[in-house]
Amino acid sequence: MVLIGIVAGVGMSGFDRIEPGRSSMQAAVENFIESSRDRARASNQNVVVSLRAETEEEPARWQRMVFRNVFEATFEDAAAVREQVLLSGQSQLQVAGRLGACLDLSEGGMGIVNGRGTPNLSNGFVIDFDCFPADVAEGNMLTWPGVVSIKQLRNGVLQCQVRAGDGEFFSNITIDSPPAALRALRWQHLRLIAANGQCQLQIDGKQVASTILPKYLSASQDTPSFGDIDRAWYGKIDEFYVQALQAELGPVVPGDVQMVLSSPTIVFNRFGALDDSHSENVLVRVETFGELLSNFIIGRFSQEVAE
C-alpha cells in the first residue's frame, strides 16, 4: 500500500491543541470529499483529489482539480454584448440553429468569438459545440491559436491538432477520426477533451479518436474563430462551451497532524463514484507524532469510519 504522509514538527504542546479541533478537521475533509463528488457530477468530468505537500511558504492542504466553465457562445442576440462575436465574410448571426439562433457559415466566412478575455487552458480543457456541415469537403472549422485547431477533411474525416509539449518546446499533436465520422446536413455534437495526458475526440457522445498528450499544454495566444476566409468551412455552429481544468483548494492540514492516504490521488468519475482506476477503497489515517487519532474510508459511493 502506498502511503503518503505530510507532517511538520512542532513542540509537544501540539498534543494540547490537536484534540479539540480533531473532529472538526476530519469533518471538513469529509465535506470536501463529498463536495468533490458533487463537482464531478455537475461537470460531467472526472475530479482528482490529492493532498498537496507542505512548502516553505504554504502549509499542507487538500486540493482538487475540477473542470469549470470559462468561455461560451450561444450566438443568441441577447448575449451579443457578452460574447462579442465579430463576423467576417459571408457569415451571419440570428439564423435558426439547433437551439435558438446560431452562427451561420453556409456561405463561408468567419465568426471570431472575443468573449470577455482569453481563458487559461494550460492545465487542461474540454471544448463542446454543435455543428451542421453543409457538405463533407475540406475546410477549417475551428482555429484557436496556441490551443487547438479542428479541420474537416475529405470524406467526413475530422482532424484535431492540440498544441502541447515538454514545457520548453511545443508542437501540434494530431488525431484523425475515421472516414464518415462527420455527416453532412445533420446536427452533431463535438467534444474535444485534452487533460491529464490524454486527448479524446467524441462525436455525439461516442469516442472516435484518442491519443496520448505530452505533459504540458500551450497557453492560448488569441481568441477562437469558426470558419476561415481562405479555407472556408460551410455549415452552422451552435452552443459553444469551454471548460478549463482548475485547482480548487480545500482544508489546511495543521502542522502537528499527519494525514496518510493509501493512494496518492483520489479520482471520482463523472457519476461522483470512486473511479475504477482504484482497485480498492481509499483509507485516510489521521495521526500525530505516530499516534492514531482517527481514520475513515473513502468508498465507491460514500465515506465511512474505518474499523
Banded model confidence at residue 56, pLDDT cuts 50, 70, 90: confident
For domain 67-246, the CATH architecture is Sandwich (2.60)
DSSP annotation of 228: E
Q: How far apart are CA 73 and CA 160, in angstroms?
A: 20
- Report the pLDDT averaged over residues 230-259: 94
DSSP annotation of 241: E
Banded model confidence at residue 76, pLDDT cuts 50, 70, 90: very high
List Cα–Cα distances, 152 to 43, 139, 181, in angstroms. 28, 5, 10
15-52: pLDDT as tens digits:
333 344 556 778 899 999 999 999 999 988 899 999 99
Listed in sequence order, the residues at least 6 apart from 254 whose beta carbon sits closer than 8 Å to its beta carbon are 17, 18, 21, 25, 59
Cβ-based neighbour number of residue 106 at 10 Å: 14
Closest CA to 159 of 208, 228, 223: 208
Higher pLDDT, 35 or 256: 35
185-204: pLDDT as tens digits:
999 999 999 998 999 999 99
Banded model confidence at residue 6, pLDDT cuts 50, 70, 90: very low
CB hemisphere CA count around 227 (13 angstroms): 29
Residues facing residue 225 across a β-bridge: 112, 143
Query: Which range is least confidently modeled, 97-101, 215-219, 257-261, 288-292?
Result: 288-292
Beta pairing, strands 225-228 & 303-305? unpaired
The pTM (predicted TM-score) of the whole model is 0.84
Query: What are the structural domain ranges in the chain?
Result: 14-60+253-305, 67-246
